[in-house]
């Protein structure tokens, strides 16, 4: 696992956008996976600006979504579906046929997860996965205690995830469960880029990067991943030794 510490929020966002562009320029058919949340907003904004300026070609790549809220209609503002399409795929010119996201409205969760797992296998695995970290150390909706061997699955969400999740919606939205790629798929991605910013993440970043590798801190499994890269601002890195 490598780490890079930057002065402000904008710099890792820019470096992360560059990494996505470099990945797609070296391998136009790259398989990418994107998270939502507050952390990658700057990365996506800069990625779109840079992609347009450099006339980057995303027409051959394939994109997965990391997770989704269960039971929230996809078009509702705040779902991973709506955010990724509006903030990323449409501006980049990525077509619907190049994207596979969880259907949070499915009435057959097992089949939905099987479809996701099968699609990832068919595409030859994920080249670059961009993720954030929850205050409890989660990646996607892999909450503390989750087995590192799991692939796509549904997950009861912890209090802290439910509380921070509510902020993504523009009105109170009942959420209880999520669908997520599993840690097995995070660990199998050729490159995992974890972004973190702000003082609120300093304590969990210290645990995830320097504490024991344990299911209690799902992001700690990245310590054992040679292709893991953590980009963070000084505030998030403040408790690292
Ligand atoms: P955030 O969420 O980017 O909004 O901080 C990260 C996460 O919960 O994974």
User: Which uninterrupted H or E stretch holds 122?
Assistant: helix 109-122
Of 67, 134, 181, the one to substitute when testing ligand 1's pocket (max ligand atoms within 8 A of C-beta) is 134
Give the pLDDT of residue 96.
Answer: 97
Give the pLDDT of residue 183.
Answer: 98
Confidence at 8, pLDDT banded by 50, 70, 90: very high
| Torsion from C-alpha of 135, 47, 123, 3, nearest 10 degrees | -50
Give the pLDDT of residue 73.
Answer: 96
Task: Transcribe 155-184 into DSSP letters.
Answer: EEPPHHHHHHHHTTSSS-----EEEE--HH
Of 12, 130, 132, 204, the one to substitute when testing ligand 1's pocket (max ligand atoms within 8 A of C-beta) is 132
* Pocket of ligand 1 contains residue 39 by CB under 6 Å: yes
Give the pLDDT of residue 62.
Answer: 98
- pTM comes to 0.97
Strand duo 191-196 + 99-100: pairing: unpaired
* Spacing, Cα 5 to ligand 1 middle (Å): 18
Segment 23-34 shows an average pLDDT of 98
Give the pLDDT of residue 232.
Answer: 98
* Pocket of ligand 1 contains residue 133 by CB under 6 Å: yes
* Pocket of ligand 1 contains residue 132 by CB under 6 Å: yes
Helix (H, G, I), strand (E, B) or coil at 153: strand
Q: Clarify whether 18 is annotated catalytic.
A: no
Q: How far apart are the first and last CA of the chain?
A: 15
Question: CA 73 to CA 71: how far, in whole Å?
Answer: 6
Q: Clarify whether 85 is annotated catalytic.
A: no
Strand ordering across the sheet containing 177-180: 67-69, 177-180, 153-156
Confidence at 39, pLDDT banded by 50, 70, 90: very high
Record the tokens describing residue 115, joined without a space.
Answer: 């479809």
Which position among 100, 136, 153, 233 bears the catalytic label? 136
Segment 144-159 shows an average pLDDT of 97
Q: What does pLDDT average to over the chain?
A: 97
Q: What is the pLDDT of residues 97-131, one digit of tens each?
A: 999 999 999 999 999 999 999 999 999 999 999 99
Give the pLDDT of residue 146.
Answer: 96
Q: Clarify whether 67 is annotated catalytic.
A: yes
Ligand 1 atom closest to 135 (CA): 8
Which position among 127, 143, 154, 233 bears the catalytic label? 143
Give the pLDDT of residue 1.
Answer: 97
Taking alpha carbons only, the member of 71, 18, 35, 70 closest to residue 185 is 35
List the beta bridge partners of residue 233.
Answer: 6
Ligand 1 atom closest to 161 (CA): 8
C-beta neighbour count of 119 within 10 angstroms: 14
* Pocket of ligand 1 contains residue 38 by CB under 6 Å: yes
Which position among 81, 138, 153, 221 bears the catalytic label? 138
> Which residues have CB under 8 Å from 214's CB, separation 6+?
220
Q: What is the pLDDT of residues 182-204, one digit of tens each?
A: 999 999 999 999 999 999 999 99
Give the pLDDT of residue 114.
Answer: 98
Q: Clarify whether 22 is annotated catalytic.
A: no
% the chain with pLDDT above 90: 100
Segment 159-180 shows an average pLDDT of 95
* Pocket of ligand 1 contains residue 43 by CB under 6 Å: no
Q: What is the pLDDT of residues 70-82, one digit of tens each?
A: 999 999 999 999 9
Confidence at 53, pLDDT banded by 50, 70, 90: very high
């Amino acid at each position: 696992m490598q780490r890079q510490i930057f002065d402000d929020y904008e710099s890792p966002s820019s470096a992360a956008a560059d990494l996505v562009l470099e990945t797609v320029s070296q391998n136009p058919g790259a398989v990418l996976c994107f998270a939502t949340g507050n952390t990658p907003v700057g990365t996506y904004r800069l990625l779109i600006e840079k992609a347009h300026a450099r006339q980057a070609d995303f027409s051959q790549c394939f994109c997965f979504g990391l997770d989704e809220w269960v039971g929230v209609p996809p078009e509702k503002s705040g779902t991973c579906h709506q955010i990724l399409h509006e903030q990323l795929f449409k501006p980049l010119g990525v077509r619907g046929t190049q994207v596979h996201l969880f259907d949070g409205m499915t009435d057959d969760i097992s089949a939905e997860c099987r479809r996701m797992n099968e699609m990832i296998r068919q595409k030859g695995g994920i080249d670059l996965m961009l993720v954030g970290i929850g205050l409890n150390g989660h990646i996607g909706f892999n909450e503390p205690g989750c087995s590192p061997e799991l692939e796509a699955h549904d997950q009861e969400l912890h209090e802290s995830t439910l509380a921070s999740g509510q902020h993504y919606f523009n009105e109170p939205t009942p959420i209880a469960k999520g669908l997520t790629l599993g840690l097995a798929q995070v660990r199998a991605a050729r490159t995992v880029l974890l972004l973190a910013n702000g003082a609120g993440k300093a304590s969990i970043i210290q645990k995830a990067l320097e504490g024991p590798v344990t299911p209690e801190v799902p992001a700690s499994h990245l310590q054992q991943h040679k292709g893991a890269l953590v980009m963070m601002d000084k505030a998030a890195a403040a408790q690292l030794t």
